[in-house]
Amino acid sequence: MKLKKNNLVGNSLINEHLKQIRSFQKKPPKLLINKEYDEFALSIIKKLNDANFNAYLVGGCIRDNIVGIAVKDFDIATDATPEQIRKLFKASRIIGKRFKLVHVYKKNKVIEVSTFRSESANTENNQQIVKDASGKILRDNVWGSINDDCHRRDFTINAIYFNPISHELFDKHNGISDVYDKRIVSIGDPLLRFEEDPVRSLRAIRFASKLGFKIENKLKDAIYLKGHLLTHVSNARRFDEFNKIFLTGNGYKNFCKLKSFGILKYLVHPNQSEFGTLLEEHALKNTDYRVKEKKSVTPGFLLSALLWPRVIERSKIKNKVVFKKFNSAMGLILNEQLSLTAIPRSFHTYIKDIWKLQFKLERRTKFEPFKVLQHPRFRAAYDLLLLRESATSDDSDIGKWWTKFQASSRKTKILMLDDLKKNKSEVKKFGFSEELG
């Protein structure tokens, strides 16, 4: 075990630090020893070790390796301070105010390296810990030992430390056992842990869906009791969670679980109508399918689908969409969503374009469809049209018409428009019957 005499732990704590590590060191499972690890991550750990610092892979990369899930991100925890890490690696930078850490770069790769943090409740040097009135930690950059850092993590399955070079394993909270038992277990009292960071309730649900694990009963109770604290989380951080929850392949599962726990309303307002509920299901399942097929997904499109029923509801007078009301409804609904999750400015126009194009996709007047095909948002608007149709029993086959139209020659397109003009005896009002109520 390497410990630098002048490192952040301090000479007086070196022996205690060694005792902590030895007390909870266990023989790592062969599964971890025999795994292949990212070469860049290994090089970072080696360089830290050579400089007499302790360093471990920690969290999701260890957990997912045991479960058998492909690891995307390798996070490293060390007793070196951000400034010491920065000196060791030229291609790096210190980021974060709430929690300082270091990003180490190599071409298009980024590895996150964090310093062991102290337990805020027990540390004497707590002047750098800033909390709000609800007890949520706003800023915390007090360094500590691996034992402190381990207790600070949210769930036991995320508090497994492993050095793939020396094969040292630190698993104080028996996280490996909980991985094998397929359980999400809180480190410490979940009621208090959710007060420190309410986002942990969202993370518990996300991990349960991703891993197929069960949430322990105490943790379930805490989600019900402390879910309301999500109102204290910034809309920017909630948008980040929105993406992780709904755009990583388990969106529909997560949506249902969030709804059952009563905390979906802190990410998106659930729709009340039968059509709205069906559109949510179809949109989320379609997004999950695209993730599994490695196709592109975007929060802008998913939000356009999830919010569409509410836009229509705000635009109606006597079950008929009024265009003037529709224009104002778009802004109102987006602003309401902004109070929950920050939506990057670039998505505002994107979402509105998709909504506005629904009118042109349905009406198909004169030669307008040729212009619609050239619109940069056509494909996204077309996809929303298909989702709207799939959530209704409408038999107008507008989606099929557009599927054929975009794949046809110009001559066939003109014939299709001629046929459409001949068969239109009256102007159909916008929208499908289930949408309009």
What is the rounded CA–CA span in Å between residue 380 and residue 32?
43
Tell me the DSSP string of 77-145.
EESS-HHHHHHH-SSEEEE-SSS-EEEEEETTEEEEEEE-B--TTT-S--TT-EE-TT--EEE---B--
How many residues does this entry show for the chain? 437
Candidate from 54-58, 126-130, 218-222, 247-251 with smallest mean pLDDT: 126-130
What is the rounded CA–CA span in Å between residue 78 and residue 155?
19
pLDDT tier, 72 (very low <50, low <70, confident <90, very high otherwise): confident
Please report the domains of the chain, with CATH numbers, ordered by start residue.
1-181 (3.30.460.10), 268-436 (1.10.3090.10)
pLDDT at 266 over 60: yes
Tens digit of pLDDT for each residue in 11-38?
Answer: 444 454 445 544 555 678 888 888 889 9
- Please name the residues in contact with 356: beta carbons below 8 A apart, sequence gap of 6 or more: 330
Higher per-residue confidence, 183 vs 132: 183
Tens digit of pLDDT for each residue in 116-161?
Answer: 988 654 444 444 555 555 545 555 668 889 999 999 899 999 999 9
pLDDT tier, 79 (very low <50, low <70, confident <90, very high otherwise): very high
- Looking at residue 433, what is its pLDDT? 85
Phi, psi of 411 (to 5 degrees): -60, -45
Tens digit of pLDDT for each residue in 188-232?
Answer: 999 999 998 999 999 999 999 999 999 999 999 999 999 999 999
Q: What is the mean pLDDT of the chain?
A: 88
- The residue type at 29: P
Strands 109-115 and 75-78: parallel
Phi, psi of 75 (to 5 degrees): -105, 140
pLDDT tier, 289 (very low <50, low <70, confident <90, very high otherwise): very high
pLDDT mean over 340-364: 95
Residue labelled with tokens 């068969």: 423
User: Which tokens in the block code for residue 147?
Assistant: 């034992």
Q: Please give the positions annotated as active site.
A: 73, 75, 154
Tens digit of pLDDT for each residue in 99-124?
Answer: 789 999 998 899 999 999 886 544 44
Under 8 Å between Cβ of 383 and 290: no
